[in-house]
Structure 1
């Protein structure tokens, strides 16, 4: 109980105790009250008025104060803002339009998906056989094993290289029966074993290009493992210079890019463009890395429509002769 409430209670009890209940009580009370107010000193009157006013304010305040909220807080609730706005009405749900079908990969007439796959062939570099690479678009599934089988099948096919300077180290009639992938390795079932190390490297590099990295390639013939292959060092296996793009026999726009790669002395090669016997242009090519690393370079050419021969080569440090020549014939439209 507050101090104001206690004072009010005492005043009311004191006044009630003086009341005499008798027939003329009301008149007596009125007369007594009049005499009391007349003879009370000014300070008492002021105190009584103030007390009554305070009591009234206390009653009004108690009546106006809201009842305490005894609801327990939600332990999982996040502190909400003081004013929570009324959410806007949600528009009625509508059916989403059907999703467009995903773009399909290019495919052959039989419906089998196709992919651009690297195939390794054999060419000559200063009279020695080396590996060169072409990209062929071939029917293949989506799995690495299916891609490897498609690339090996193309590698074994006679005269499948676009560049007439390239060939295969495998004998005619050799077939791939199956390719499976287990972890970081692959098993290739063939109708015949590799005839020599170069043929084995041609297979190992072709399978690795389809799978990625440097997988171990098990060669199985007639149910028996005949070889375990890995890629040999590029410096000892690949042609010293490659014309990667444009590939032999392709048609290009008047302005196109030549992509070269290789390992040559001081990372310096030469690009000559011929039309018939006429040299149209010559450029020095600086590869991105020197021996023993394999560097790359890109050169932009603009040529008039016609057929051209692109020659990539290096000069011998000993006698200045042309070596490591790789050439492609292209048509500019």
Structure 2
């Protein structure tokens, strides 16, 4: 088994999500009593917080939070001799039929710091070329972030950081929540100014409806490709295929009627494939073939068969 195969297996086994608790009343109270000093983009931040509070119930408002991993994750530059580090989740932007949404990607960090390591990944960008980030290098004050207190974390922006869009703010909320292993609201600071607390929007409004966790981009695989992710798909059916081959099938998610994404996993026998680079595509089920609604959402990974 190659180093990358082992990393993928450990990530598959050890990294899971934590469902958020119901903090609706707490969020309402905090938003009513906490006031910022009026950043130029403070109105947008306040609106995002209010939308999340009004719309949310338990799983719909809470971020798709990852437990602190106890195993290694994918590497930006895979190498058999590289320090394995630890898996850190960051949320990046990708195109879907419903418009830009967030995709979670795990990257390997040698000595991660909760919260700050995720922000650093948002600046450095994704490994998967299908994703982008709205936070260029130098956006955050990476020398400081508060510890969670009463469900809130404070994040400091540099003076040169862009005025964040709603989706950019959600990148931070979900990434910081994953880093600390609990659903959090975020207060943004720029100099002496600060925003209203920003909570996570409902999952089905901000996350891509299918999201791969494993394999990692460019992973070396053996005869069996282990696949894991989360999806909100019709009747819990999650179709997959390997582009350019006759290999296809479907996974079954753990649910589909709730207003959130549900875990799915399975193994794909790739022993019949010749050595080369292949693309795994996983998508939501669309029985109408695009005739009703915006169509299927997909996520993909390139894998290498040695």
TM-score in terms of structure 2 length = 0.64
Checking the alignment, whether the CA contact within 8 Å between 1:139 and 1:150 is kept in structure 2 is: no
| Aligned residue number for residue 285 of structure 1 | 251
- Residue 214 of structure 1: how far off its partner (Å): 1.1
Residue of structure 1 in register with 2:94 after alignment: 123
CA distance in 2, matches of 1:200, 1:317: 34
| 1:162 match | 127
Give the structure-1-normalised TM-score.
0.59
Aligned position for 1:272 = 241
Counterpart contact for 1:118–1:133, Cα < 8 Å: yes
Q: Give matches, 1:3-14, under 5 Å.
A: none
- Equivalent-residue separation in structure 1 for 2:230 and 2:84 (angstroms): 30
Equivalent position of 1:149 in the other structure: 116
Structure (1/2) with the larger helix percentage: 1
Among candidates 169, 180, 183, match of residue 146 of structure 2: 180
The structure with the larger Rg is: 1
In the aligned structure 1, how far is the partner of 2:284 from the partner of 2:86? Answer: 33
In 2, the alpha carbon distance for the partners of 1:175 and 1:294 equals 29
Does the Cα contact within 8 Å between 1:149 and 1:176 map onto a contact in 2?
no
Residues 191-213 of structure 1 show CA distances to partners (whole Å, capped at 9, x for unaligned) of: 13652110000000000000122
Please report the RMSD computed on the Cα atoms of aligned residues, expressed in angstroms.
Answer: 2.4
Distance in 1 (alpha carbons) for counterparts of 2:204 and 2:285: 18
Is the Cα contact below 8 Å between 2:282 and 2:299 reproduced in 1? yes
Contact 1:130 1:237 in 2 (8 A): yes
In structure 2, the partner of 1:209 is 178
Report which structure shows greater RCO (CA 8 Å, sep ≥6): 2
Cα drift, residue 272 of structure 1: 0.3
* Count of residue pairs the alignment pairs up: 215
> CA 1:113–1:251 in structure 2 vs 1: closer, same or farther (change >3 Å)?
closer
SS at 1:235 equivalent: helix
CA distance in 1: counterparts of 2:157 and 2:194, whole angstroms = 10
Q: Does residue 1:316 correspond to 2:286, yes or no?
A: yes
Matches of 2:123 and 2:301, distance apart in 1 = 22
* CA contact 2:135–2:162 (8 Å) conserved in 1: no
How far apart are residue 298 of structure 1 and its match? 1.5
Q: Please name the residue that 1:307 is paired with.
A: 277
